[in-house]
A = this chain, B = another copy of it.
Amino acid sequence: MAEKPLIVVTNDDGISSKGIKALIKVAAEFGDLLIIAPDKPQSGMGHAITVNNIIRLDESGLYPDYQAYSCTGTPVDCIKMARHFLKERKPDLVVSGINHGANTSISVLYSGTMSAAVEGAIEGIPSVGFSLDSFEAKADFEGSKVVVRQVIQKMLSSKLPEGLCLNVNIPDIPAEKLKGIKVCRAAKAYWKDELNERKDQHGRKYYWLAGEFENRDLGEDTDLYALKKHYASVVPIHFDMTAYHLISEINNWDF
């Protein structure tokens, strides 16, 4: 009998978040799970790894039906931990999320959820990050499950080219209103930062990073456009950031 697929589950909102609970429910339909997720929120951690400190890993009682560990490290650390524990067995899939809030466009760079998927891709494992386009505290992840199920099913049956991962964003609408799933490119959108300046009780200044996401991209083939039109977006992501098309131009600088 064929072995069941082995699926590593992580996220960046922390092991007890609603999004990972929804993801675990769907992933368990497809295989055995190894859950290693941060013990606290790690949003905005990007591709950070823990180099100047130790990492702890503790068995989590939250998911008694599965092997589950909470980790003091970053989402990327969680993937490295999973590889360490699985040793010779390579997982069949890494799933990360479901993130509380969209990770469209350049948010891939800042997102711990997506960075965990990128790390999976670096390790040669088919990987995917899921995000729900809602920052509401009461966000409902039920509708997302339809998309998660369909993407996991496709990823296990199709062969994702090595080194690639998928960035899946899901509109915050009931499942029956979802128009479908669209393969897209990342929109050219930006965070228009505003640093919120305040003073503490001693009169000393401090700052909160704030800002708005601004889309400057009118393309109809982008992730932001798909979400707006009530589609889930799938963007293929690769980890080699070399701008190949500009190597020859920079060569003309004649160092």
Contact of A207 among B56, B83, B151 (CB under 8 A): B56
Q: How far is the CB of A89 from chain B (nearest CB, A)?
A: 15
**A47 CB–B CB distance under 8 Å:** yes
State the 10 A-B residue pairs at the shortest beta-carbon distance, nearest first: A46-B47, A181-B255, A44-B51, A238-B243, A236-B243, A84-B195, A48-B48, A46-B46, A54-B206, A47-B109
The chain B residue sitting closest to A81, CB to CB, is B195
Q: How far is the CB of A226 from chain B (nearest CB, A)?
A: 11
Most buried by B among A181, A237, A240: A240
**A186 CB–B CB distance under 8 Å:** yes
The chain B residue sitting closest to A53, CB to CB, is B208
Contact of A161 among B184, B186, B194, B246 (CB under 8 A): B246
- Extra 14 A-B pairs, beta carbons < 8 Å, given A43-B52, A55-B209, A234-B250: A45-B48, A46-B47, A46-B76, A49-B209, A55-B206, A55-B208, A56-B205, A80-B195, A106-B239, A106-B240, A109-B118, A151-B255, A180-B255, A183-B253
Per-position 1/0 for A100-114, Cβ under 8 A of B: 000000101110000
Residues of chain B contacted by A241 (CB below 8 angstroms): 108-109, 118, 186, 237-239, 241
Per-position 1/0 for A22-55, Cβ under 8 A of B: 0000000000000000000101111111111011
Q: Is the interface of A mostly helix, strand, loop or mixed?
A: mixed
Decide if A154 touches B253 in the complex (CB within 8 Å): yes
Q: How far is the CB of A211 from chain B (nearest CB, A)?
A: 9
**A9 CB–B CB distance under 8 Å:** no
Q: Which of A60-90 contact B (CB under 8 A)?
A: 73-74, 76-77, 80-81, 83-84
**A176 CB–B CB distance under 8 Å:** no
Residues of chain B contacted by A76 (CB below 8 angstroms): 46, 110
Decide if A164 touches B236 in the complex (CB within 8 Å): no
The chain B residue sitting closest to A198, CB to CB, is B54
**A215 CB–B CB distance under 8 Å:** no
Decide if A251 touches B183 in the complex (CB within 8 Å): yes
